Structure 1
Amino acid sequence: MQTHEETKGAERPERPAQVTAKKETALSPESVRNFKDHRQIIARKRRKANRRRKVFLTRAAVLAVALLIIGAVVGLVSCARNDKPAAAPPEATEEPETPPETTLIIQDETEPNGFYFAYLTEDGEPQPIDMEGLAKSWAAEAGFEVRFALTDAERYEVAQIVTAEAAGEPLAGKIAICQCILQACEDDGIRPAEAAAKYLYTKKRPEPTDESLTAVNYVFDFGMVATTKPIKYFKNPELTTNTWHETQTYIMTINNHRFYAEKK
Structure 2
Amino acid sequence: MKFFWIIFLSLFIVPVFAEPVVEEPVVEEPVVEEPVVEEPVVEKSKPPIASETIVGIASAIIAITVGGITWHYQRKNLEFNALLHLHELLNSKDNRSYRKYVIERWSNYIPEKIIHEEEFREKGEKIMNDWDEIGILIYRKLDLKTKKPARFGGYIPKDVFFTAYAGAVVNSWIVLEELKNQLSKERDATIFKLYFQKLYEDAMEFREKFGSGETSIQKLDRERKEEQQSKKEKSNDTRDKTQQDPEPKS
For Structure 1 versus Structure 2, the TM-score category normalised by the shorter chain is under 0.3
How high is the TM-score relative to the length of structure 1? Answer: 0.23
How high is the TM-score relative to the length of structure 2? Answer: 0.24
